[in-house]
Structure 1
């Protein structure tokens, strides 16, 4: 069997707020309860993000989601409608721009706990 990533734990101050926010932005299902103490966000049939409340300090993590062009546009629209600051560079200032220099489209934003989310239409890490 090929190795597949099944789930990741995401530390949060308020797991329900964080799980709900990400699920609504990405347009995917989530639940207030999961196995154990988690609030799961179901990204697809094979990957779940399990939000869990942790004490301070906790690590800030970068997550990248590859999506299709139509999904990118829809999610970007939800970011804009929610007035969430976004940027075109991983460590750049908020510029409300989309990076198109890698052949696709890329944006970055941070959620309230500081985790960095990236959304792209073409992987620059894997040329496939």
Structure 2
């Protein structure tokens, strides 16, 4: 059996601005609009398809984690810091402006403009020792 995640839809107040935010922070490009979606393709082929939501309805925050190389982590974290974003070492947003070293790698969490919790990590969970 071959199963792979192809895309997921990300709720946004402004799909263009939200897609551009993610692309800028991760060092990626925004793809052309496809129907009601503005996609950002991740190098493994998965796309995050941003879609505008009803402005009266609250957006339920989701969590999106990106496995990155050590070099990419440094570059992304630098862009997060240069953007003036707060970041955390933990998913509960308790350890401010620090990174974690879970599983012998590095990780950090930050929010996008819609309140989605974004994570960058250099080692998959359970792949090493704390």
Give TM-score scaled by structure 1 length: 0.91
Aligned residue number for residue 12 of structure 1: 12
Aligned residue number for residue 34 of structure 2: 35
For 2:87 and 2:59, the matched residues in 1 are separated by 23
How many positions carry a matched residue from both structures? 126
Query: How far does the alpha carbon of each residue in 1:29-76 deviate from its partner, in whole angstroms, 9 at most, with x for none?
Result: 113x42211111111251110000011123210000000000000000
Runs of at least 5 residues in structure 2 that lack an aligned partner in the other structure = none
1:44 counterpart SS class: coil
8 Å CA contact 2:59–2:114 kept in 1: the answer is no
Aligned residue number for residue 23 of structure 1: 23
| C-alpha RMSD of matched pairs (Å) | 1.6
Range moving further from structure 2, 62-71 or 99-108: 99-108
